[in-house]
């Protein structure tokens, strides 16, 4: 079970999926599967040196509203939300991770009638049957609407996902219901102080749900300077369920808005050409 823990290298603590020790059935590229009476699109990328005997980490990546598979796999798109593939995490992952990128209906994650949760279950089955996966190290991540979908999965499927990593999201999308949040799950969040889509207080509300769920010690994250960012790891969380929160000031560069702005998954420190967020997210993921 994902919530029970895992190992960083697919070693002694790993749990091999049904697709291990067999020729791979799931190839890289765009895929189609039937879910809820509809043909759903998704994308898979396994490590270039894929080894059928090695159980790999998997990261599901949900796009933002009006985004797409292509927005994450081949950025930047018109929204300019990220300029590095796979939310910048692929560059850091080495030969260690399988990436799964679903396509939302109408380019969003309304999850009407649980349709996107059902789709996720179907993808999980296809990935674990078709590739060698460490089932204790399956993660979900997303920005904005995609972050809300990841929160929904974190609370409704904590036995399938090891952790959720969300960027600038809120509590009122994708069928999220806090009453489903009954089991602890590791959680990472970044949120802009000047976010005008999900304001900063909404970001703190998201954070509070998971610090409470994981029995962490209460603390208020310090506010960074306008052009800076800051991160804090919460103390006292239940074993195996860390919570880390990063925030950033309104002066962090956001090319989507032609300058500063808070609703953005890839903020950059002054003078930097790449975002600090992927390294923070990867450091959080890599500990498992």
pLDDT in tens, 256-266: 655 455 788 99
Res. 213 pLDDT band, cuts 50 70 90: very high
Question: Would you state the structure tokens that stand for residue 275, as one six-digit string?
Answer: 């975002």
Contact by Cβ (8 Å): 130, 159 = no
Q: Is the pLDDT of residue 111 over 50?
A: yes
What was the pLDDT predicted at 152? 96
Residue 112: how many CB atoms within 10 A of its CB?
Answer: 11
74-88, 200-214, 222-236: which range is least confident on average?
Answer: 74-88
Answer whether the bond into residue 118 is a cis peptide, omega within 30°: no
What was the pLDDT predicted at 7? 38
What long-range pairs does 212-220 form, CB within 8 A, spacing at least 24?
A: 213/181, 213/182, 213/183, 213/184, 213/185, 214/184, 214/185, 214/186, 214/187, 214/238, 214/241, 214/242, 214/243, 215/184, 216/243
* Beta bridge pairs of residue 165: 141, 188
| pLDDT mean across residues, the chain | 92
Superfamily covering domain 18-286 = Alpha/Beta hydrolase fold, catalytic domain (3.40.50.1820)
Q: Is the pLDDT of residue 47 over 70?
A: yes
What was the pLDDT predicted at 209? 97
Residue ranges per structural domain of the chain: 18-286
């Amino acid at each position: 079970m994902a919530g029970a823990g895992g190992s960083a290298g697919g070693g002694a603590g790993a749990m091999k999926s049904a697709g291990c020790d067999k020729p791979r059935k799931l190839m890289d590229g765009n895929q189609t599967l039937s879910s809820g009476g509809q043909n759903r699109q998704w994308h898979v990328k396994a490590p270039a040196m894929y080894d059928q005997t090695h159980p790999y980490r998997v990261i599901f990546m949900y796009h933002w509203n009006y985004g797409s598979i292509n927005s994450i796999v081949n950025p930047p798109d018109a929204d300019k939300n990220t300029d590095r593939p796979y939310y910048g995490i692929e560059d850091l992952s080495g030969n260690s991770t399988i990436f799964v990128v679903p396509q939302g209906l109408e380019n969003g994650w309304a999850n009407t009638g649980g349709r996107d949760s059902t789709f996720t279950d179907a993808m999980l089955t296809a990935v674990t049957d078709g590739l060698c996966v460490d089932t204790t190290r399956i993660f979900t991540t997303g920005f904005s609407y995609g972050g809300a979908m990841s929160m929904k999965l974190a609370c409704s499927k904590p036995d399938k996902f090891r952790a959720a990593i969300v960027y600038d999201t809120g509590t009122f999308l994708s069928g999220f219901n806090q009453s489903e949040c009954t089991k602890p799950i590791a959680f990472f969040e970044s949120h802009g102080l000047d976010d005008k889509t999900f304001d900063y207080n909404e970001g703190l509300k998201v954070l509070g749900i998971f610090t409470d769920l994981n029995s962490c010690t209460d603390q208020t994250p310090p506010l960074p300077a306008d052009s800076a960012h800051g991160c804090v790891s919460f103390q006292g969380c239940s074993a195996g369920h860390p919570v880390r929160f990063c925030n950033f000031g309104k002066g962090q560069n956001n090319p989507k808005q032609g300058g500063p702005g808070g609703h953005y998954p890839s903020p950059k420190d002054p003078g930097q050409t790449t975002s600090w967020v992927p390294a923070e997210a990867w450091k959080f993921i890599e500990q498992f």
